[in-house]
Structures are given as structure tokens and as C-alpha cells.
Amino acid sequence: MSDTPAIEFVGVHKEFQSHGETVHAVRTLDLAIGQGEFFSLLGPSGCGKTTTMRMIAGFEDPSAGTVFLDGKDVTGVAPNKRDVNMVFQSYALFPHMSVFQNVSFGLERRKVAKAEITRRVGEIIEIVSLTGMEKRAPREMSGGQQQRVALARALVNRPRALLLDEPLGALDLKLRQQMQVELKRIQREVGITFVYVTHDQGEALTMSDRIAVMQGGRIDQLGTPREIYEKPATRFVAGFIGTSNLLEGEVRSIDDGIATLSSAPGDCVLVPVPGSVAVGDKLEISVRPEKIELERGTEAPSDCSVVAGTVSEVVYHGTSTNYAVTTAAGPEFTVFDQNAANADDLAVRGDKVFLYWNAQHSYPIGV
């Protein structure tokens, strides 16, 4: 595989004029996306992710900076001169054409030989699991099947990169989850670089090799799904990716790289810290709800972080129970407790509890 990035942004900035004001949609973006990578741009509406994708496709030109595809400067190059394809939330299939005709349309426009068209369409239809449906019209297919046709039509041309702009947004939850797994499988089989735009954290975590979390036109954090979930770089990332409990405190002592924070009387919060952290420093930490154990009783566990609280809400989810716990340490804590062992012994509202977790599950933000 080539070391040259499939897609690269160097100092890219994009601004718009809106009602007499300058809107900075993307701010000084430096980014390299590898060959054959499943890369997601993740963030809330207005963060710049769709503008970034449109600059890859050529639908928008950067106000400053350079866009490269396979090492070639394509800044200002027309969309139809770039070797990329896009798939949108609206499938935009031709309703009067069959599946085969929809998929082969681009090849026919390029005057590819009929035998080659038949071979390539057959290959891609098999990859997207639509074998036997070649003669169907789009109206005779489910939403998930139509999405597969749109994917096949984009992939049959063998683009250098495939750009997907929230393509699963129109599907129901169960089908969307199935298609997430299918998309990753398809991407592995065809080996093409996928760039996926979404505001859905679960989608990005499920499918991506790497994720860029964007806010305000900038990348807040770039990393693997595990890195971003387990070690959020900013308060925004900690809150945007899944659910996170955020806790502030002052470093009371440091022993062998583990700091003890003062958060509330009687509580003990432990967190691994780098050598740059000193006694007296203020820290903010993130703790994921599934890392926390909930214990009823009057005696706190030892050798771990412990926070006392009162159960304020209980929500049963079948496989787990979610607790909201009010504490003196700060904001309300959220705890996800698996029901495998204790489904018949749930805490109830008003119970006095201890929340405890391993020191390694506290992550300091921004240090």
C-alpha cells in the first residue's frame, strides 16, 4: 500500500459570507487520510464536517490552503475530474431503471465494453449482497436494499475514494445498525478509502479505523475509536462521544504516578497523571458510566476511587440498568450496571450508595 495519503489537507481554511458576516466553516485544517482507510468526520451540525467533505469532492473550493488526492494538488479541479464518488442520504436512484441498469449507468456513460460491464456489475452486486435482484426496480426494494444499490453504483467505477454523507440517516434503527456492519465489510472487501460524515457517535465508533471529532471548524481530537472513547482530549469530546461523568478536583497528593484528588469530604478520587502534574494543580477527569460499580451499604470499598451519593433515578433497559446518582462531588453521575448478575437486586430511588472504580478508569482531560 502506498505511503502517499489518499486525501490530504494542508492549511485549508474555508469561509462564507452570510448576511454581511464572515462565517469560518473550516479553520486551518491539516489532515492526512490513509490509503484504504475507513475515516469518519464526526461532530454536531455546523462543525464543518460536511464542508470538509465537499472540498474533497470539489463542490467547494478552499478559501486558503491545498487539497491533495493521491499526492496530486486538486485545489480548484472540477468535481468530474476528481477520482472520487459520493453517496448521500437520499439514494437518488433512477426509478425507471432496474438494479443492473442503475449500477451499470456510469460504466455505460464511459463506453466500457458490454462484457466488462456485465462482469464488474456482477462482482459488485455480489459484494453488496444483492445477487438475484438485478432485474428489480428500486420501488420493489427496501430502504436498506436501495442503499446497497447506491453503494454498488458508486463503487463499480472503482474510485480512489468514496465519500459518504450520512447515508444511513433515512433508515430505521435496527436496519441502520445492520448496515453499519455491512458497510465496514464492503469497505474491507473493495479496499477503497471511505470518508464518512456523521453526527452519530455509535456509527463512527462501529465502523471507523480513525475518527476526527470536529467542533467550530477545527478538529478537537483525531485518533482510533478506542483512543477517542477511552482518552478524550477535551471536555467537548468527553461529552460528545457516548456518555461521560466529568469531575473536577485539586491534586492532594501523588504516589507513584497516581494522584489523589480533593473533590468532596469523604470521597477519594484516584487518577493516573503524567510527571507534569503537581500537588495543588486543578484537574478535570472523565469516567465512563460502564466503568463504575454501584454498592449499597455503609462501608466504602478500599483501594479505588470512591464517591458517596444517593440514587435519584433508575431506568431499566433489559440488558442493563442505568442509574442517576446525586453526589456532593459535583454534577449528577450516570452509572450503567449490567443485569447479568443482579437483575433481581436493583437499587431504588433514595438508596444511599457508593460509586467506585479502578484508578486506571479515571482519565485526566487536557494534560
Q: Which three cell numbers stand for residue 231?
A: 482518552
The pLDDT of residue 18: 83
pTM score, two decimals? Answer: 0.88
Reduced 3-state DSSP string for 267-328: CEEEEECCCCCCCCCEEEEEECHHHCEEEECCCCCCCCEEEEEEEEEEEECCCEEEEEEEEC
Contacts of 53 (CB under 8 A, 6+ apart): 41, 86, 163, 165, 195, 197
Which position has the grid cell 479553520? Answer: 27
CA distances from 290 to 44, 297, 339 (A): 24, 20, 12
Sequence-separated (6 or more) residues with CB below 8 Å from residue 132? none
The pLDDT value recorded for residue 345 is 73
**Under 8 Å between Cβ of 330 and 296:** no
The domain spans of the chain are 7-239, 245-364
**CA pair distance 73, 79, nearest whole angstrom:** 13
pLDDT at position 75? 95
The parts of the chain modelled with pLDDT lower than 70 are 1-2, 298, 300, 340-344
Asked if the 245-364 domain carries CATH number 3.40.630.30, the reply is no
Cell 451499470, located at residue:
104
Q: Which is nearest to 70 in space by CA: 5, 158, 163, 2?
A: 5
> According to the model, what pLDDT value does residue 143 have?
83
CATH number given to 7-239: 3.40.50.300
**Cα gap 35→5, rounded to integer Å:** 6
pLDDT of residue 142: 86
| Interval 281-300: pLDDT, tens | 999 999 999 999 998 876 76
